[in-house]
Structure 1
């Protein structure tokens, strides 16, 4: 009887976890934030979700420590957050771009006033730019589904960037490291107990702290620089972890240093920025569907890494597993440096024009030495002048 009950509880936990994952997948905080935020703070606002995810992970670590035998209470307390989210969504307006697409101009203006606190002049410019992009998209006779399944070259370029960042965010082993931090520490020689929980909480604190740093700097430093820095740091940390487990007696100090280094480096770049970039790069007409596909890729890779992490440790060794992720993180570095365009300070419509220009010119790889100027050079003259003027106006007001 007890065995049957245990099996039932286990299957119920699995089913509820799948349902929870589906609910999370339907949420799109980065997509919403990217559509309602002014360009010069879009990175900041779109990263709040990632910061709170990491605060939630940290709370999970700490509550697991405090409520060690009462895991059901820990899981049940998590239901409060979705309930509050459901209540608060009543007060959130639709995005201006969606409202304009539905022909509701007055509602779009009201949404801009409420969410972005634009001046009357800025609202006029933003509405004009959104309308121009909608008219350009409506001039074609293809449906959104057709554009995704038989995409034009501009959309292919956007897919390469958007789906690429979704893939690499999880392919470097981040989910395995987050889920199995206690397992990695135990393999390094740290036994169960307060020391294990304390180090796990310290790793979670490190992760949340560096997400906050990324949140406050990405609109000044830029997306690409942070991704490159993050990739370098993740590679070094994974190399350190791999080396720690090649020793005859795994080094606890190196393992902890590698874990903290990984969390810090991942959280300052790939952690928060993949969702931001994914929500920025697609044209309005297909943005919702494309972002959904991107998150589907992200979750699939995440689940694959989480399921394969322990079997890989058994077959390849812990050092071999981390060396594999080290190689993938080097590929992520090349991808960020050569493929991902700099989008800081640009409107979503201007970013769409970058991919149109890439398709027109047959460019896949950007020129790194022109990375600072390329984001404006690729724009049509009218948009380039508008965004340069907007940037000067923003800088003078700060």
Structure 2
């Protein structure tokens, strides 16, 4: 929906200001609706407000299940308080010291932080935040076209998140992430190769095409030097490529980038390129971009959050979940703040190859450090992480309770 709203505002005066400001509407709506949100029954019970807890539980559960849910809540909170008491020190530093002193927490936190960092370092938010720019780098000059085509990435991301709901409990968390990373590596390599091919086949700059724009040429351009569209866009004084009239793959003109030169180029029924060059690989880049999103969303897009909700002991879940979330958003900041700089310094193809290499490294690290938590209770996860022969790449088999074994033997 955000992409659709942005597309609607591309022709409105003050474009980006409206795009940014309109986000205040759902925020205001959420603020109003939050006043109708009841407190968590668990929080109320811990505050000793048991009557209020019962009122909320009666709104959620059938009348014949309320007493059972209340008893389950009581037992769960009593156990939680007992576990919290075992930590001893209640300050944040004390909790952190106690947490890092536990082998279970260290192993769980390593896995939790790794999947959160990997989620960002495969480059997903460069695609989500800069997809219109990437579309333009693929050779689509129009802002409207770039915004419209970027809807594909956001739509596929939304669909992929729904798809993960049907597979995460069948396939398993670990396997789904590994399959996701394999797809990410493949399609980032294809993207890098596509942009490399586009750069090597960029249309040349022609003296003949420059003549109609004699006073608007790029300052660095010299008729004696062979330039392509890519050389034009890399010029220090910021220049753009005015494509050939009728066939964008034929030689064009390199002009100083300004609104007047854009206007002159468009007036002559030509396309003006300022981010990427016209090429015949544009649709392959879009295909690879879509396949990358399809690979990412059901696995690395959703599973790291699920793993982080299952892998920590109850008494340390809050502090460990917070550390993992901080790691995620710091990684997000690093990736998104460096993407455009990397494309300028290394080129678009090299930037995607770099992300491909990082994703391959993430695949190896996730394989050797992240265990499978599918179907395991919290206590079983804790036993798995505390095991002396703990190997994340091997499926943990919890011990079968004695009664269950006896029943199985009697049936045999």
Counterpart of 1:270 in 2: which secondary structure? coil
Q: Which residue of structure 2 aligns with residue 363 of structure 1?
A: 390
Q: Is the 8 A contact 1:343 1:351 kept in 2?
A: no
1:139 and 2:89 are equivalent in the alignment: no
Q: Is the 8 A contact 1:157 1:355 kept in 2?
A: no
Unaligned runs of 5+ in 1: 1-54, 386-398
Distance (whole Å) between structure 2 residues aligned to residue 190 and residue 341 of structure 1: 43
Shift in Å, 1:379: 7.0
Number of aligned residue pairs: 319
Distance (whole Å) between structure 2 residues aligned to residue 285 and residue 309 of structure 1: 38
Q: Which residue of structure 1 aligns with residue 152 of structure 2?
A: 202
Shift in Å, 1:358: 1.7
Bigger drift between 186-195 and 61-70 goes to 61-70
Shift in Å, 1:161: 1.9
Given candidates 282, 304, 307, the residue that maps to 2:334 is 304
Q: TM-score, normalised by structure 2?
A: 0.67
Shift in Å, 1:104: 5.6
Q: Which residue of structure 1 aligns with residue 210 of structure 2?
A: none
Q: Which residue of structure 2 aligns with residue 291 of structure 1?
A: 321
Q: Which residue of structure 2 aligns with residue 30 of structure 1?
A: none
Q: Is the 8 A contact 2:372 2:392 kept in 1?
A: no
Q: 1:110 to 1:127 in 2, by over 3 A?
A: farther
Distance (whole Å) between structure 2 residues aligned to residue 114 and residue 144 of structure 1: 36
Given candidates 277, 280, 296, the residue that maps to 1:266 is 296
Q: Which residue of structure 1 aligns with residue 75 of structure 2?
A: 128
Alpha-carbon displacement from aligned partner over 1:249-305 (angstroms, at most 9, x marks no partner): 362122111211122221112122223322333334433333232222211111111
Unaligned runs of 5+ in 2: 202-278, 405-412
Shift in Å, 1:156: 0.9
Distance (whole Å) between structure 2 residues aligned to residue 380 and residue 144 of structure 1: 38
Counterpart of 1:191 in 2: which secondary structure? coil
Distance (whole Å) between structure 1 residues aligned to residue 319 and residue 82 of structure 2: 19
Q: Which residue of structure 1 aligns with residue 23 of structure 2?
A: 78
Q: TM-score, normalised by structure 1?
A: 0.69
Shift in Å, 1:229: 2.2
Shift in Å, 1:169: 0.8
Given candidates 375, 381, 397, the residue that maps to 1:354 is 381
Q: Which residue of structure 1 aligns with residue 187 of structure 2?
A: 237
Alpha-carbon displacement from aligned partner over 1:213-261 (angstroms, at most 9, x marks no partner): 1234434443223212221221111111111122123621221112111
1:148 and 2:96 are equivalent in the alignment: yes
Bigger drift between 72-81 and 61-70 goes to 61-70
**Aligned-pair Cα RMSD in Å:** 3.2
Q: Is the 8 A contact 1:354 1:378 kept in 2?
A: no
